[in-house]
Structure 1
Amino acid sequence: MSALGRLRPTLISPTYTRLWFGQAVSSVGDAVFSTTLVLWVATVLAEGKSWGPQAVSGVVLATSVAVMAVGPLAGVFVDRWDKRATMLGTEVLRGVLVAALTAVAFVPVEDLPAGVWLGLIYATVLALNAASQFFTPARFAVIADLVTDEADRARAAGIAQATGQTAWIIGPPLAAPLLFAVGLQWALAFNALSYLVSYFAIRTADLTPVATASAPGTATDTAPGTAPAAAPAAAAKARGKAAAAAERPGVFREFTAGLRFFGRNRFLVALLLLTVIGQLGTGALSTLNIFFATRNLHASAELYGYLGMAMGIGGIAGALAAGRVVQWIGARRTTWIGLMASGALLVLYSRQTGFPAAVTLLFVFIVPITMLNTAMAPLMLAATPQEFRGRVVSVFYPVTRLAAMLTAVLSGWLAGSGLQGFSGSVAGLRFGPIDTILAVSGLLVVLAGVYARLALPAVEAAPAAKPAEPAEPAAGPPAEPSGSAEPAETTLEGRP
């Protein structure tokens, strides 16, 4: 009991701890799954084939297509549906999809054409990430309803980011032994089992305060596990739901209403613009860091993994510290200071020529990046009414994912063609194509910090930017806190 008591301040509440555990297992399963597919396609299915890199890139493309094609409209349905039921349903769907692929994986690889294998893998990845577009906004709405304190919201987002970073430190090293020692089937089965764990964690958590707002008159819904009310009350409830369904606008109208709300809210637009500009730094780094390590740092390719490890550890440190920092200086200051600091550190990183110093700087660079991502969670929640939260998240994620993709393509083109052969010197400092792109990206991130300092109002003024909310529905922000408000962990990074 004493150990659990010590965990409560960090993990918000005992029920949140249950939800965190389920999501942590699921995140590790996702990391194992993604790494396993890449390894299997590259080393088994496409071994020695010239189309191997394109086959691997198809996995990433399937993920991006799901985010951008399904994400924007998913928020409309999430705003309509019960959040707990949405989370449970998506976990069941994802578990069944992975279990089906696991069953197919027992077929010897040579018995099916490579095109069939790739089609099955791409279709599964696409469907899994499409389901995630419903799970993530539902989880975001859960944390918004159950955690109202700014510092607690930042702490919950920080826990989620730290968990995600840890999963990607644990998962990939697990994937290779599972794949090569016991086979593809059992590596995939690990992920299917992780969804089962997440399902039971959500199922057993007390999330009754986050039931979807229905029609007026449904406030007398009985609590789960209790006997139904009298027949007249049940009939009135049914009539209220029918009336709400009749009055509800179409999906397209709700989607466009969400877009209009987002576009007219200068606070949300500013947050989105800051995130997009921030992708200029992290996107360019993720694309070019391997070339920076081998060319500028003169390190062997085998040492490249240590750069990723430094970023993972820095991400954990930044995420765990974010809640306390937000409590000290506020989410707004954390955001603009984090942008300025990370941009300056990226510029400094671009000037490195030695591997040990570069590893240290990369660790320090990712700390403020993770902290500002975490700080944006309470800022977005403060500026978004309950009825628009699903749609706001479903606009935010696809746009930032698109920005990351475009940044990766642009930086790759500049390094490979646009600036190929570029060299110069300023004040005795020599510049090549890779370090120049990273340095310019860092300067743009610093400018984003300046913009954030001017554009973001004080945190306490953020809610004033939203339009007047309608009368509180029966199942709005928790009118009946149970003493252990337990939001599902969330993050605005969507997971990087």
Structure 2
Amino acid sequence: MTTLARLRPTLISPTYTRLWFGQAVSSVGDAVFSTTLVLWVATVLAEGRSWGPQAVSGVVLATSAAVMFVGPLAGVFVDRWDKRATMLGTEVLRGVLVAVLTAVSFVPAEDLPAGVWLALVYATVLALNAASQFFTPARFAVIADLVTDEADRARAAGLAQATGQTAWIIGPPLAAPLLFTVGLQWALLFNALSYLVSYLAIRGADLTPVGSAAATAKQRAQAAERRGLFQDFTAGLRFFARNRFLVALLLLTVIGQLGTGALSTLNVFFATRNLHASAELYGYLGMAMGIGGIAGALAAGRVVQWIGARRTTWIGLMASGVLLVLYSRQTAFPGAVALLFVFIVPITMLNTAMAPLLLAATPQEFRGRVVAVFYPVTRLAAMLTAVLSGWLVGSGLRGFSGSLAGLRFGPIDTVFAVAGLLVVLAGVYARLALPAPAPAPAAKPAADTAEPAEPAEPTLEGRP
């Protein structure tokens, strides 16, 4: 009891602690599941086949398709539905989907055609990630109602990011032994059980404060049903487009993806070509980013409490942009590892700081739709940046070589340096243009919500 009591202040509240615990277990399960499927497809199903890489990429495409095509519409339903029931329902659905795939996996791989196995895997991944598009905005809205202080919201976002980073440090090393020692079935069952743990954690959480306005929420849902799905969806888009704070925040997030998107595609080539390191050492760069992400996420709440979410955002952009430029000039592996660790800390901090800014600018009735627009757009930006970076180095800047002030530039370090400079400019823009958000306006009664209310325009920092 004493230990739990000491943990509660760190995890904000007992209710949040339950929700966090469920997310932590589920995140590890997801990391194990994703890694297991990639390993199984690559080493068992497509072993020795020329189409192996394409088969593995299909898992990524199924994930992206769910985010891009289901995510924006999911927010409409999340704004209408009871958030707790939505979270519980999606956990049940995801657990059943993985349990079904687990049962099928007891069939020997050679007894079914590879195309059938791939179809089952892709369909399951698509359905799981489609369900996640309902779970994530619902959880976002619940946390917004439970955690109201800006610093606590940043701390909650930091804990979520740290948990996700930790899951991807624990999950992949756990997946391989499970797959190759006890088999695919038990690795999949691990994820199914993680959804059960998450379900029990949510069910046991006291979400009474969230449901205190249940009658008003029911009236909004009934009005939304009368308007229709398309009208409700476009109302959310209009609200987003008319709120210059949300538009600026989205633009900054998209620009911030330039650095991480370029790194995700080119860092392995940077390690072997620019740093002259062996491919076996590449994993240490990913480890540095993972540890830096955890450090930045855990420190973000305190930093936001000291200087505010807005300053954390623009300072984080400037610092990460400068560090990415410095990283592009590295030629020794140890220095690059250290610099990459430092680079990811402000990146994680600014991502964490954006959560309270996003919450403060969004009224309760639009939270599901705002999140369902915000995250798919940032995911698309990351994908496009990764593709563009690969094309530039492989074709557009292939063979490029130049020098400036005695410094020589090749294609990869040039892409990193330009991306870093653009991120610095985004920080300057954020410093000059990003307003400090005023508290989100209260939602109007359901009868008046045919058109979204024009939000109160956030004021510049330091002004009333």
TM-score normalized with structure 2 length: 0.94
| Residue deviations 1:375-406 (CA, integer Å, cap 9, x gap) | 00010011000000000000001111111111
Residue 244 (structure 2) aligns with: 266
CA distance change for structure 1 residues 323 and 2 in 2, over 3 Å: closer, same or farther?
same
- Answer yes or no: is the 8 Å Cα contact 2:297–2:348 preserved in 1: yes
Matches within 5 A, 1:155-194: 155-194=155-194
Cα offset for 1:209?
A: 2.2
Residue 401 (structure 2) aligns with: 423
- Answer yes or no: is the 8 Å Cα contact 1:81–1:212 preserved in 2: no
CA distance change for structure 1 residues 40 and 242 in 2, over 3 Å: closer, same or farther?
closer
User: Quick one: which amino acid aligns to residue 182 of structure 2?
Assistant: V
Greater CA deviation, 292-301 or 322-331? 292-301
Cα offset for 1:426?
A: 1.1
Query: What is the aligned length?
Result: 447
SS of the residue corresponding to residue 10 of structure 2 reads coil
Residue 66 (structure 1) aligns with: 66
- Answer yes or no: is the 8 Å Cα contact 2:220–2:445 preserved in 1: no
- Answer yes or no: is the 8 Å Cα contact 1:87–1:139 preserved in 2: yes
User: Quick one: which amino acid aligns to residue 469 of structure 1?
Assistant: A
Matches within 5 A, 1:197-236: 197-211=197-211, 215-216=215-216
SS of the residue corresponding to residue 37 of structure 2 reads helix
Distance 1:242 1:472 in 2: 5
Distance 1:241 1:6 in 2: 41
Greater CA deviation, 195-204 or 41-50? 41-50
User: Quick one: which amino acid aligns to residue 282 of structure 2?
Assistant: Y
Distance 1:118 1:372 in 2: 38
> Which of 267, 284, 287 is the aligned partner of 2:262?
284
| Residue deviations 1:118-175 (CA, integer Å, cap 9, x gap) | 1111100000000000000000100111111000000011011100000000000001
Residue 346 (structure 1) aligns with: 324
CA distance change for structure 1 residues 429 and 74 in 2, over 3 Å: closer, same or farther?
same
What's the % identity of the aligned pairs?
A: 88
User: Quick one: which amino acid aligns to residue 211 of structure 1?
Assistant: G
Cα offset for 1:250?
A: 0.7
Cα offset for 1:247?
A: 6.9
SS of the residue corresponding to residue 293 of structure 2 reads helix
SS of the residue corresponding to residue 227 of structure 2 reads coil
Distance 2:112 2:225 in 1: 51
SS of the residue corresponding to residue 438 of structure 2 reads helix
SS of the residue corresponding to residue 50 of structure 2 reads coil
User: Quick one: which amino acid aligns to residue 84 of structure 1?
Assistant: R
SS of the residue corresponding to residue 185 of structure 1 reads helix
SS of the residue corresponding to residue 348 of structure 2 reads helix
CA distance change for structure 1 residues 374 and 246 in 2, over 3 Å: closer, same or farther?
closer
TM-score normalized with structure 1 length: 0.88
Residue 50 (structure 1) aligns with: 50
Cα offset for 1:472?
A: 10
Cα offset for 1:50?
A: 1.0
> Which of 424, 430, 436 is the aligned partner of 2:414?
436
Matches within 5 A, 1:401-412: 401-412=379-390
CA distance change for structure 1 residues 13 and 472 in 2, over 3 Å: closer, same or farther?
farther
- Answer yes or no: is the 8 Å Cα contact 1:334–1:371 preserved in 2: yes
Residue 387 (structure 1) aligns with: 365
Cα offset for 1:245?
A: 5.4
Distance 1:148 1:336 in 2: 22
User: Quick one: which amino acid aligns to residue 40 of structure 1?
Assistant: W
Give unpaired runs (5+ residues) of structure 2.
448-464
Residue 27 (structure 1) aligns with: 27
Cα offset for 1:20?
A: 1.1
- Answer yes or no: is the 8 Å Cα contact 2:158–2:352 preserved in 1: yes
Distance 2:219 2:434 in 1: 40
SS of the residue corresponding to residue 403 of structure 1 reads helix
Distance 2:77 2:270 in 1: 43
> Which of 467, 470, 481 is the aligned partner of 2:444?
470
- Answer yes or no: is the 8 Å Cα contact 1:214–1:244 preserved in 2: no
CA distance change for structure 1 residues 350 and 243 in 2, over 3 Å: closer, same or farther?
closer
Distance 2:220 2:275 in 1: 66
User: Quick one: which amino acid aligns to residue 423 of structure 1?
Assistant: S
SS of the residue corresponding to residue 129 of structure 1 reads helix
CA distance change for structure 1 residues 215 and 346 in 2, over 3 Å: closer, same or farther?
same
- Answer yes or no: is the 8 Å Cα contact 1:215–1:243 preserved in 2: no
User: Quick one: which amino acid aligns to residue 309 of structure 1?
Assistant: M
Distance 1:471 1:337 in 2: 39
Cα offset for 1:215?
A: 4.8
- Answer yes or no: is the 8 Å Cα contact 2:8–2:14 preserved in 1: yes
- Answer yes or no: is the 8 Å Cα contact 1:83–1:212 preserved in 2: no
Residue 447 (structure 1) aligns with: 425
CA distance change for structure 1 residues 146 and 472 in 2, over 3 Å: closer, same or farther?
farther
Residue 255 (structure 1) aligns with: 233
SS of the residue corresponding to residue 403 of structure 2 reads strand
CA distance change for structure 1 residues 242 and 62 in 2, over 3 Å: closer, same or farther?
closer
User: Quick one: which amino acid aligns to residue 165 of structure 2?
Assistant: Q
SS of the residue corresponding to residue 47 of structure 1 reads coil
1:77 paired with 2:77, answer: yes
Distance 2:270 2:411 in 1: 10
- Answer yes or no: is the 8 Å Cα contact 1:92–1:196 preserved in 2: yes
Give unpaired runs (5+ residues) of structure 1.
219-239, 474-496
Cα offset for 1:210?
A: 2.0
Q: RMSD over aligned Cα, in angstroms? A: 1.8
Residue 133 (structure 2) aligns with: 133
